[in-house]
Homo-oligomer: A and B are copies of this chain.
């Protein structure tokens, strides 16, 4: 069910365009700047982030958030890519390896602009609230699942992994570009909501199937080890749990969120 690769159909050779922009040294200042985007500090400062791979670059181009496309010198650009007005830089394979997070880069990357989302931009329908979700894979997968489940926005509380971390971006499989993702103080955020807010807790909650499905709700899930903080659980309409029928102690937070998002929606 993953989309791991894109089949390149009709494609155009772009070698003749090397003259436009071509970098072969990993010491080039541009390359150094791209490499720095692997740190949160530099991403925060610049407001930029780096994405990798055909699928993500294609999705980002559609959303017009790409500042620069970076391509291996011997790479054929898929014809469907809308790159006309985007700067394209061709690079040596060494350069691509130096800037990419994956061990075997697909040969295409892009610098994107971070999107700032404000409370007023958020459609107050179905929301996913994340309290200190630290694992990049979990965070990215939950954004992907939220997109699939028709969630309108994802709100990241304090202590969450950086959404522009390459592992998060990759795990979203492009869903990061599909729905608003906003950072917020969850306690204050919940205060502003006029909809049922469902926390998740192993203790003191009700089995999720006792809750009625609804068109608007906020689902709040928490940290991999600690769950949702007590302070936030005290502010919810109701707290839910997913019954464990076997001998395992818990579910992965991404799986739990997936089950609940699909269950709660009407």
Are A2's CB and B225's CB within 8 A? Answer: yes
Chain A 160-192 interface 0/1 with B at a Cβ cutoff of 8 Å (1 = within): 000000000000011100110000000000000
The verdict on A150 contacting chain B, using a C-beta distance below 8 Å, is: yes
Binds B, one of A86-94, A97-105, A239-247: A239-247
Are B147's CB and A1's CB within 8 A? Answer: no
The verdict on A4 contacting chain B, using a C-beta distance below 8 Å, is: yes
What is the size category of the interface that chain A forms with chain B?
A: 35 or more
Q: How far apart sit A259 and B148, CA to CA, in the bound complex (Å)? A: 12
Q: How far apart sit A250 and B2, CA to CA, in the bound complex (Å)? A: 7
The verdict on A262 contacting chain B, using a C-beta distance below 8 Å, is: yes
The A225-248 residues at the B interface (CB cut-off 8 A) are: 225, 227, 242, 244-248
The A94-132 residues at the B interface (CB cut-off 8 A) are: none
Residues of B within 8 A of A252 (CB): 1-2, 141, 144-145, 254
Least CB distance, A162 to chain B, in whole angstroms = 20
The verdict on A65 contacting chain B, using a C-beta distance below 8 Å, is: no
The verdict on A195 contacting chain B, using a C-beta distance below 8 Å, is: no
Are B245's CB and A265's CB within 8 A? Answer: yes
The majority secondary structure among interface residues of chain A is loop
The verdict on A83 contacting chain B, using a C-beta distance below 8 Å, is: no
Residues of B within 8 A of A222 (CB): 1
Q: How far apart sit A254 and B145, CA to CA, in the bound complex (Å)? A: 11
The verdict on A149 contacting chain B, using a C-beta distance below 8 Å, is: yes
Residues of B within 8 A of A244 (CB): 148
The verdict on A196 contacting chain B, using a C-beta distance below 8 Å, is: no
The verdict on A12 contacting chain B, using a C-beta distance below 8 Å, is: no
| A259 touching B259 in the complex, CB below 8 Å, given contacts A2-B250, A175-B246 | yes
For A149, give its contact among B2, B146, B148, B246 (CB under 8 Å).
B246
The verdict on A31 contacting chain B, using a C-beta distance below 8 Å, is: no
Are A1's CB and B245's CB within 8 A? Answer: no
Are B4's CB and A224's CB within 8 A? Answer: yes
Query: A226 — nearest CB in chain B belongs to which residue?
Result: B1
Are B246's CB and A178's CB within 8 A? Answer: yes
Q: How far apart sit A244 and B254, CA to CA, in the bound complex (Å)? A: 17
| A253 touching B175 in the complex, CB below 8 Å, given contacts A150-B246, A262-B242 | no
Q: How far apart sit A144 and B247, CA to CA, in the bound complex (Å)? A: 9
The verdict on A67 contacting chain B, using a C-beta distance below 8 Å, is: no
Q: How far apart sit A5 and B224, CA to CA, in the bound complex (Å)? A: 11
